[in-house]
Structure 1
Amino acid sequence: MQQVHNIGRRRAWVIWLVALSVYLLAVFHRSSLGVAGVLAAERFDVSATELSMFTVLQLVVYAGMQVPIGVLLDRFGAKRMLVTGLLLMTAAQLTFAFATTLPVAIAARAVLGAGDAMTFVSVLRLVTSWFEPRRIPLMTQLTGQLGQLGAVAAAGPLAWALHDLGWTRTFAIVSSVGMVLLVFVLLLVKDSPYVTTQVIRIRLSLLARQVRSVWGNPGTRVGMWSHFVAQFSMTVFAMLWGYPFLVRGEGLSTQTASALLMVMTGWVVLAGVVLSMLTARFPYYRSVIVLLVVAQMVVAWTAVLLWPGPAPMWLLVIMCLTTAAGGPASMVGFDLARTFLPSEYSGRANGLVNIGGFGASLAVMALIGVVLDLQNPRGMDAYTLDDFKVAMAVQYAFWAFGAVQVVRYRRKALRHLEREHPGVTHQLRRGEPFVHPGFHDREGV
């Protein structure tokens, strides 16, 4: 296989920056309902349960497409998937801008979820192809966390634009950004620094067995459950229920609530850099690091929910920062899967890992909406702080279940790695990276 471009040099960084811009736009689109939720409830005259369905359906599509998209990514490459994702997101957001009925709006969010589903795993594939193994943990964290700047744009500028420009003009304008990025992707992105792109051509007769092989590997599962337990709280808070909780429940102004969401995103970037260094230095303890981050999150949320009346600002800030740290902690799941699986399986492995956090997120979002309606069926304007506290408590069941699964599969994954690749666990204990050399497709089943 002939290498025609240097790995980790200027071309690699240009490709990564263009792909990162697409992911940033996807996060912006994904998070846009977080600040538009109150307006959406008024525009479409919906209850909390119905409002949660906007985002839940979007995430159902996102999570449900991860395995098929992983297969398509391994088959067609990252560039084609990014182009397709941009086209779908642009069309969906433009439709959402002009939607006046609930079914049309929900359909638009579903298509948006499909386009969004193609972006992150495609960027990770480019990272794996264009950067050295020792840099991949850092680049994975930077991708995940810098992409969250899209949430900052949704929390601040989008809120301003919705106020000054209105619903239709705002969403129509932001939909056009996708066409600009499409030009850059077509001109600048390449799938691989090699002449042969190593895109796998998969026969349908072998597809089920190969997916089962990836899923059967305990490294995939410890990655998925790490993503599950760490990500959902931040996603739920940033995408839908955080803004109403802070404004309607805690009594903050809209400006203060938006500022807190932006502070969360800034903290995500800082925490991502710190966690990337920790996981690169202590690869053997990566899942333990994830659980420590989750424990801090649980403590902060417990303090807020048990506080009599509205929590003080300092405690809300701590809660927001620890919740935000769950984002970079969830990225460790992809790094775990990379250790246990060869690069040619990365599309399917990353797709399965990605299902974890987003599957948990959509379940928690839906349950919070249901609990709010059960607590107070009179709608968004009638919810009290106590209603929100009861609803937000559904997170504890998911934290507990996810933590148990991480511990369970961490043990299985380490035993598996030592059995298949003797001496590698000692290598990881010493802080040395491990690149999977490839395996027979029955390994781990």
Structure 2
Amino acid sequence: MRLGRKEGGRLKVFNADKAGAAGVMLATLVGVAAMSQVFRTIAAIVAPGLQREFGLSTEELGIYAGAFHLSFALAQIPMGLALDLYGVRKTVGSAFLLAVTGALLSFIATGFPVLMLGQLLIGIGCAPAFVGSLFFVSKHFSEKSFARVSGLVLSFSGLGLLATGTPLAWVVEHWGWRSAFVVTGVVAAANLVCILVLVRDDHGKNSGGIAGAIRETLAILKERQTKGIVALALVAYPSYIALRGLWATPLFMERHGFTLTGVGNVLLASSVATLVGPPLFGLVRAKGRSRRYLICASIATSAGIFLILAISANWIVDATMCVALGALTGFTILQFADTKSAYDPQVVGRAFGILNTAAFLGVAILQGATGWVASTASTFSVNQFAAVFAFIAAACLLAMVAFFMLPWPEWEVGSKTDV
């Protein structure tokens, strides 16, 4: 069906059927992104069971939780390149098969090495999930609606975080940690079928081939604004995932005596907040310098919240701070909008891939580093939670300073339209 409306004295025609098809395909991609959210935070729910069955240390748990994010991060640039070359369906579908395989390996694991292999495969398989959705939005939706639609994508993909709150905690408490991978593996397989059946796209062509695409990727890494974008991405989202995916469970169980289901309730509330934040940030019309100032203010606020967690002794305060950090993750949308405006449209897949590489490499680094901080703090009889959260707060502030002080994109120089 074709509809029309007046725009600038002319009749603008658009195809409602095509728009509806794009909506269905985007919803399917968002389902995969939601499963990526499940997989990246599942460690917090299965950690107690893994410690009981395999006797894992705190450092080993940190390494296990970080394995997903390490492989996820290292796969981002290749996946971004694949999106530019081959499009969404082939890239996301092929990769997500690895995630299903990784869930199966995790279910049958008899030791730490197999668990690690499962996490690594899941990380690679989920690598193009969210960035593939944003790539699809950048090709099928207008420039003006990018931040708004991307905010909705991030919000609905955040439904996956709800699953690793109370529902999955209840499943694990009743049927053990392996049941978590049975449930997630089955849902992931269903998502894979939907991608292969429903998604069709004709984007992702590059006349220069793989060699040309690699040269363009290297050129992106050399551009003036990349250092600041990467510096912030290494800490901004990873700071929340370090809490949500690793430290929230021991925080409430050891500091406040919560049960696993009780922790799940806090995580559920925090996850709901992650659904609210992105659409709100997506409505922000700031761009250029104004958008960057807002990004800096958001990461500074995150640092302040982590300092409160470091010194708090009240479970209500701690729970409130977890919810507040969940809402603040919405400023990730501003980072993607900032990145999109900083690079040429034909390399947007790789630009998003670089941003996500930094973000999830940061998750792996930060989770591993906080495990080391906790162990070191215990050695010197320092409260591990105070040390961990103070360390994260310091990392947030350093990232903000780097983002602000390093070179900005060319649009910042003498451009009144980007204020």
Q: TM-score, normalised by structure 1?
A: 0.85
**1:210 — aligned with what?**
216
**1:67 — aligned with what?**
77
**1:188 — aligned with what?**
198
**2:416 — aligned with what?**
426
**2:271 — aligned with what?**
265
Question: How far does residue 9 in structure 1 lie from its aligned partner after superposition?
Answer: 2.2
Question: How far does residue 116 in structure 1 lie from its aligned partner after superposition?
Answer: 1.2
Contact 1:376 1:387 in 2 (8 A): yes
Residues 1:104 and 2:114 aligned together: yes
Residues 1:231 and 2:221 aligned together: no
Quick one: structure 1 residues 300 and 83, their matched pair in 2 at CA, closer, same or farther if it must change by over 3 Å? same
Quick one: structure 1 residues 185 and 207, their matched pair in 2 at CA, closer, same or farther if it must change by over 3 Å? closer
Q: Secondary structure at the match of 1:133?
A: coil
**2:338 — aligned with what?**
336
**1:413 — aligned with what?**
408
Query: Tell me, which stretches of 5 or more residues in structure 2 are unaligned?
Result: 1-12
Fraction of identical pairs, as percent: 19
Q: Secondary structure at the match of 1:376?
A: helix
Q: Deviations over 1:148-198 (max 9, x none)?
A: 211110112111111222233442232011221222212221224xxxx35
CA distance in 1 between counterparts of 2:114 and 2:84 reads: 33
Match of 1:294 among 266, 285, 299: 299
Question: How far does residue 133 in structure 1 lie from its aligned partner after superposition?
Answer: 1.3
Question: How far does residue 11 in structure 1 lie from its aligned partner after superposition?
Answer: 1.4
Indicate the larger mover: 174-183 or 84-93.
174-183
Q: Secondary structure at the match of 1:9?
A: helix
Quick one: structure 1 residues 303 and 167, their matched pair in 2 at CA, closer, same or farther if it must change by over 3 Å? closer
- Root-mean-square deviation (CA, aligned residues, Å) is 2.4
Contact 1:223 1:332 in 2 (8 A): no
**2:10 — aligned with what?**
none
Question: How far does residue 364 in structure 1 lie from its aligned partner after superposition?
Answer: 1.6
**2:42 — aligned with what?**
32
Contact 2:274 2:329 in 1 (8 A): yes
Q: Secondary structure at the match of 1:261?
A: helix
Indicate the larger mover: 363-372 or 316-325.
316-325
Match of 1:85 among 84, 95, 101: 95
Map 1:358-369 to 2 at 5 A.
Answer: 358-369=360-371
Question: How far does residue 306 in structure 1 lie from its aligned partner after superposition?
Answer: 2.3
Contact 1:67 1:351 in 2 (8 A): yes
**1:46 — aligned with what?**
56
Question: How far does residue 277 in structure 1 lie from its aligned partner after superposition?
Answer: 1.2
Contact 1:95 1:108 in 2 (8 A): yes
Residues 1:114 and 2:124 aligned together: yes
What is the number of residues matched between the two proteins? 407
The AA in structure 1 aligned to 2:331 is A
Question: How far does residue 385 in structure 1 lie from its aligned partner after superposition?
Answer: 8.9
Quick one: structure 1 residues 216 and 168, their matched pair in 2 at CA, closer, same or farther if it must change by over 3 Å? same
**1:324 — aligned with what?**
326
**1:248 — aligned with what?**
254
Query: Tell me, which stretches of 5 or more residues in structure 1 are unaligned?
Result: 378-382, 430-445
Match of 1:355 among 340, 354, 357: 357
Question: How far does residue 221 in structure 1 lie from its aligned partner after superposition?
Answer: 4.0
CA distance in 2 between counterparts of 1:353 and 1:230 reads: 11
Contact 1:223 1:334 in 2 (8 A): no
Indicate the larger mover: 334-343 or 93-102.
334-343
The AA in structure 2 aligned to 1:253 is T
Question: How far does residue 201 in structure 1 lie from its aligned partner after superposition?
Answer: 4.6
Quick one: structure 1 residues 10 and 206, their matched pair in 2 at CA, closer, same or farther if it must change by over 3 Å? closer
Question: How far does residue 298 in structure 1 lie from its aligned partner after superposition?
Answer: 1.9
Quick one: structure 1 residues 120 and 7, their matched pair in 2 at CA, closer, same or farther if it must change by over 3 Å? farther
Q: TM-score, normalised by structure 2?
A: 0.90
Indicate the larger mover: 241-250 or 73-82.
241-250
Question: How far does residue 114 in structure 1 lie from its aligned partner after superposition?
Answer: 0.5
CA distance in 1 between counterparts of 2:30 and 2:214 reads: 31
Contact 2:88 2:204 in 1 (8 A): no
Map 1:126-165 to 2 at 5 A.
Answer: 126-165=136-175
Question: How far does residue 104 in structure 1 lie from its aligned partner after superposition?
Answer: 0.6
Match of 2:65 among 45, 55, 58: 55
Q: Secondary structure at the match of 1:46?
A: coil
CA distance in 1 between counterparts of 2:369 and 2:41 reads: 19
